[in-house]
Amino acid sequence: MLFAELALIRWVSAYQVHVAYFTNFVLLASFLGIGVGFLRSGRERNGFRWAPASFALFAALVFVVRVVKDFGDAPGLESSLGLPAPPIWIALPVLFLGAVWVMANIAEGVARLFERFEPLEAYRLDITGSLLGIILFSTLSFLGLGPVVWGALLAIAFLGLTPAGGFAGRWAAVAGVAVVLTLGSLAPHDVWSPYYRVTVYSADAGGRIPVRVNSLPHQAMLPLDEIRGAFYAEPYTHLDRPPGNVLIVGAGNGNDVALALAEGADHVDAVEIDPRLQLAGSELHPARPYQDPRVAPHIDDGRAFLERTDETYDLILFALPDSLTLVSGQGSLRLESYLFTREAMEAVRDRLAPGGAYAMYNYYRPDVFERYANTMREVFGHEPCFDPGRPGAGARAQSVLTIGREPGDIACPTAWSPGEDVPAPATDDHPFPYVIGRWIPSFYLWWLAGILLASFVVVRRASGGPVGRMRPYADLFCMGAAFLLLETKSVVQFALLFGTTWFVNSLVFAGILLAVLAAVELARRARLPSPGVMYVALLACLAVAWAVPPSSLLSLSLVPRFLAGVSVAFAPVFVANLIFAQRFRDVGASTIAFGANLLGAMLGGVLEYVAIVTGYRNLLFAVALLYGLAFLWGRRHLTGSAAEPADAPPAGAPDPGAATVRG
């Protein structure tokens, strides 16, 4: 189930630009679908038999009616097969409900197995399977294996798990999963990185090689003469000597590296987070910059590299570091968000050699440009030099900001002049450089409200009537919402401490699942303290996590930083799951209880956007509040004073009196 969820997130984001900047849209749909699947598992008809067909049909719809953005200064949307691109208000509901449908069918099969075990044993098996799913998907990412392998593994799993009788199209549906995902690997120009579907085109008449990622125009490999005539060259016009030691963050296909070499750099550290983009530049760039012995490529997160290196540089460049994707589907944190905070600029300043300079360039929205310029001024103590360029799409404009370590270190004909209302710098606790102010954009608010309304309708229909069946498990619902927020806090904390790479994110999710599994095993084998004591311990762990901001750990060396980060982030995860295991062990209806918990997690995914207002650190107050509500609503169950409904027997199951579920 988790493997299928990860595959869906990657597949939808690869072909639908409408979800380019909030892939957690599919994550929320997955949580809703899994919760719905658990709620409807008592029906006579088994929805899992339709799982391969629904997966194949939804994946085919995403692939065939793909929405891409044209190249050009004013790119528009287009669709495949000559069809008009569906507007976002049609595309997003269809994608959301489609993902709910797919995951609900898969989850129903899980839920029917869930009912056959004691609740805590079922949960242990579920977590173990989730851990194996994320390890498998991460391994495929490490090996650079794309949808053809995902499809083959999913087809094998569906074939082995779906009922053999009663569905004539079973083989066709299973084959459809493999065939549709294989189509994603047949495009001659496509390769799949851990982050994107990367499309590298053939060179045009001028020698340019365009590159798309996830259906969006992203880069172009340029001949050296064209690079010299573009805005890439502006920072060098402010230097009074050739650059010696150069650091390029966002080196990509190598344009900036080629120019640094041509300008006389003695050494270039080229940092790029995506291995496929760097490999494409190494093989195809007309200037062959990565073949030069003066260049040291680093596949790493730029902020993490800055924090770890002891080198000092004569020139540091942030070269168009625009990831176009989010960190593991989490809310609004993009891969490059931690590059543009005040603390990141301070790390840049500390890595500059005497007389060194720092420059950044991109197609900036006016408010984003003002924020970055203001951040540079506050960190360096003087205004940066400003080189305007040509207009881009919409309100964006090409701009270059260059600043010396000291005011006289560069020649600056035109300094940036702040306007009347300059945005404050982004910070490590509030890493949202693209958000105006501290308020959730109205676009997100409308869509989140729509998601919650649709979720209520879908849950009511799936539960066969009023949602009152979940009322005894209101505490588990709150635990699900709180835990998703706690998980998000852990992901973003480790992204700051060790980088936003896919490998770090995979390790964090695996670590969370291991902490959950350890808590379950302890709950199964030991007598835990009373619920009141456990909740006090959880609040103490949350207080420590709030009192120790992640940025305070950045000064530690790698091993102490890892140990401190794990202790601070995973202690509340472990204790929270001891509380969950203690409560879940004796539920009367394990599928309804677990469904309520999963639907709570979906609400937690929506609440994660509150970090735009509060910052990530203060999300812990919301976590504490939700666990407080869970304690108040769950006390009567934990003391054994309230009866709960037993699981309804699934079709074909033995008599419930013979089941191991405790009432």
3-state class (DSSP) for residue 242: coil
Give the model's pLDDT for residue 498.
Answer: 86
Instruction: Answer yes or no: do 397 and 455 share one domain.
Output: no
Task: Look at residue 80 and tell me whether its pLDDT is greater than 70.
Answer: no
- Do residue 467 and residue 373 come from a single domain? no
Q: What angle do CA 46, 48, 49 make, to 5 degrees?
A: 85
pLDDT at 502: 78
Reduced to 3 states (helix: H, G, I; strand: E, B; else coil), residue 545 is helix
Mean pLDDT within 123-141: 92
Look at residue 20 in the predicted model and tell me its pLDDT.
Answer: 72
The confidence score (pLDDT) of residue 658 equals: 30
CATH label of the domain that carries residue 474:
1.20.1250
pLDDT of 571 reads 93
**Same domain, residue pair 442 and 564:** yes
Please tell me the predicted confidence (pLDDT) of residue 348: 96
**Residue 297 forms part of a structural domain:** yes
Q: Are residues 36 and 124 in the same domain?
A: yes
Specify whether the CB–CB gap between 198 and 276 falls below 8 A: yes
Rounded Cα–Cα distance for residues 12 and 95 (Å): 8
Residues 282 and 395 in one domain: yes
* pTM, rounded to two decimals: 0.87
Instruction: Report pLDDT digits (tens) over 596-629.
Output: 888 898 889 889 889 989 999 999 999 999 999 9
Work out the average pLDDT over 365-393.
Answer: 90
Which of helix, strand or coil describes residue 218? strand
Highest mean pLDDT among 256-260, 437-441, 446-450: 256-260
Q: Are residues 396 and 447 in the same domain?
A: no
Q: Would residue 418 count as lying in a domain?
A: no
- Whether the pLDDT of residue 640 is over 80: the answer is no
| Together in a domain, 356 and 468 | no
pLDDT of 514: 92
Average pLDDT, integer, range 52-78: 78
Q: Are residues 296 and 175 in the same domain?
A: no
Give me the pLDDT at residue 168, please: 60
Among 293-297, 322-326, 408-412, 631-635, the range scoring the smallest mean pLDDT is: 322-326
For the ranges 102-106, 494-498, 565-569, the lowest mean pLDDT is seen at 494-498
Please check whether residue 128 lies inside any domain of the structure.
yes
pLDDT at 652 over 50: no
Task: Check residue 638 and give its pLDDT.
Answer: 59
Does 58 score more than 50 pLDDT? yes
Per-residue pLDDT tens over the stretch 225-239: 999 988 899 999 999
> pLDDT: is 22 or 554 the higher one?
554
Query: Does residue 125 contact residue 54 with C-beta atoms inside 8 Å?
Result: no
The reply to whether 597 falls in a domain is: yes
Give the length of the chain: 663
> 380 lies in which domain range?
197-322+342-404
Tokens, residue 625: 């509040």
Query: Domains in the chain: how many in total?
Result: 2
The yes-or-no verdict on residue 324 having pLDDT over 70 is: no
Reported confidence tier of residue 388, pLDDT bands at 50, 70, 90 = confident
Q: Considering only residues 435 and 299, tell me which one the structure prediction assigns the higher pLDDT.
A: 299
pLDDT at 23: 61
Do 165 and 280 fall into the same domain?
no
Q: Identify the pLDDT of residue 650.
A: 38
Claim to verify: residue 361 and residue 261 sit in the same structural domain: yes
Q: Give the per-residue pLDDT at 661.
A: 28
305-319 pLDDT, tens digit per residue, is 999 899 999 999 999
> Does residue 271 sit within a domain?
yes
Give the distance between the most distant pair of CA atoms in the chain. 85
**Which of 139-148, 163-172, 263-272, 492-501 holds the top average pLDDT?**
263-272
Tokens linked to 476: 């588990």
Instruction: Write down the pLDDT at residue 644.
Output: 55
Model confidence pLDDT, tens digit, residues 151-204: 999 999 998 887 765 556 778 889 999 999 999 888 888 899 888 889 999 988
Give CA–CA dist 623/89, Å, rounded. Answer: 32
CA distance 9 to 110: 20
Within a domain: residue 210? yes
So what's the pLDDT on residue 208?
Answer: 92
The answer, yes or no, to whether residue 655 has pLDDT greater than 60, is no
Which of 8-22, 268-282, 290-304, 480-494 has the lowest average pLDDT?
A: 8-22
Same domain, 303 and 282: yes
The verdict on residue 537 lying in a domain is yes
Phi, psi (5° rounding) for residue 117? Answer: -120, 160
- The predicted pLDDT at position 165 comes to 57
Q: Distance between CA atoms of 623 and 482, rounded to whole angstroms?
A: 5
pLDDT at 377 over 90: yes
Give the closest residue to 210 by CA, choosing from 160, 179, 253: 253
- Measured CA to CA, the distance from residue 356 to residue 361 in angstroms comes to 17
- Residue 414 in any domain: the answer is no
Residue with the larger pLDDT of the pair 278 and 46:
278
Residue 645 confidence class, pLDDT cut points 50, 70, 90: low
pLDDT value for 142: 84
Sequence-distant (≥ 6) Cβ neighbours of residue 315 within 8 angstroms? 235, 239, 243, 245, 246, 247, 260, 265, 356, 357, 358, 359
Are residues 313 and 230 both part of a single domain?
A: yes
User: Which tokens hold the place of 484?
Assistant: 């998703």
Give the CATH number of the domain where residue 278 resides.
3.40.50.150
**Of 205 and 538, more confident:** 538
